[in-house]
Amino acid sequence: MKIFLNGKIVPESRAKVSVSDRGYLYGDGIYETMLCRNGRIFLLRRHIARLFRSARMIALPLPWPPQYFCSAVEKTVAANGLRDARVRVTVSRGCGAVGYAGKVTARPTLVIAASKFNGWPRRLYENGVGIIISGVRRNHPLCIPPAAKSSNCLNQVLAAQDAERRNAFEAILLNTDGYVAEGTISNIFIVKNNRLLTPSLETGILDGVTRREVIRIARRQGIVVAETLLKPFDVVNADECFITSSTLNIMPVARMAAKKFGSAKPGSKTLLLSRALERLIDKETQK
């Protein structure tokens, strides 16, 4: 694998980050994960725009313009000879003196990695996956701003361990008020009485790029969409359920713990939206 590191494409074996880097020491940084198909990045500029929003939220000055990131991502994919890939852009605050408020003595550290990705197994989309409600709560917005895609991911790591222990594909976190927030790598949607419902931003979630696109697609399809407050009871009693992310696209959920949704197969609204999203991805990545 070849890595883009601070302006240069280098072999993975030479992609080294200092032990004084604040991303390594404190998780002081931001990142984006993107889907590459046919050698093109789906919604690249939206991801980079969110990267800049995240940087502003943690007061991380970025010395490069958005186009620099777009070009660097494309160069990284090309350098690895990839057509279908998962791409991650990580920016840390850089090296500095030890201490949370330590003076930063260098530019931010920029790392871009692209790895071959042919999608998740087809059987998961055909049969759906299982989720659980984690005992780990989502960080309160007054602790870490949820709209910033931060490199500080211990919250999600602990919840993912919870899912693994309970043999689930994904763990859904509640916020500190007990409302459904989001998954460790995903946003969650349910269908109830032909309406599409998803946790609102006020619950303290990341406004996923795919989440936003699914909402747009649903409304264009004439589906009523509500960004609202959901309790675990609402999810358990949903007619359909699915999760979204840049690499999952729309992943059907067949069950939550022991509770099955409908026939435990992807529902009609889930399939409608999934096909529409796939058509959009194909259209945008074949230009």
Task: Express each pLDDT in 12-57 by its tens digit.
Answer: 999 999 999 999 999 999 999 999 999 999 999 999 999 999 999 9
The yes-or-no answer on residue 287 being catalytic is: no
User: What stretch(es) of the chain map to CATH 3.30.470.10?
Assistant: 2-116
Q: What are the E-state strand segments in 44-155?
A: 85-92, 109-116, 129-137
The candidate with the shortest Cα–Cα distance to 232, out of 203, 273, 195, is 203
Write down the pLDDT at residue 258.
81
Residue 81 is classified by DSSP as T
Helix (H, G, I), strand (E, B) or coil at 29: strand
Percent of the residues in the chain that have a pLDDT greater than 70, as a whole number: 99
Over residues 140-151, mean pLDDT: 91
Q: Indicate the average pLDDT of the chain.
A: 94
* Region 94-122 average pLDDT: 89
Q: Please give the class, per CATH, of domain 122-284.
A: alpha beta
DSSP 233-271: HHHHT-SEEEEEETTTEEEEEEEETTEEPTTSS--HHHH
CA 112 and chain centroid, separation: 16
Tokens of 133: 């409600």
Q: What is the mean pLDDT of residues 257-275?
A: 88
The per-residue pLDDT for range 176-186, each reduced to its tens digit, is: 999 999 999 99
Predicted confidence band of residue 58 (pLDDT cuts 50, 70, 90):
very high
Separation between Cα atoms, residue 240 and residue 156, nearest integer Å: 24
Scan for tokens 């649903």, then name that residue.
Answer: 218
Checking if the pLDDT of 137 tops 80, the result is yes
Sequence ranges of the chain with CATH classification 3.20.10.10: 122-284
- What tokens does 74 get? 């494309």
Q: What is the mean pLDDT of residues 193-205?
A: 96
User: Of 75, 103, 149, 287, which one is the catalytic site residue?
Assistant: 149
* pLDDT value at 262 more than 90: no
The domain 2-116 is classified under which CATH number: 3.10.620.30, 3.30.470.10, 3.40.50.880, 3.40.50.2000?
Answer: 3.30.470.10
- Mean of the pLDDT values across residues 149-167? 95
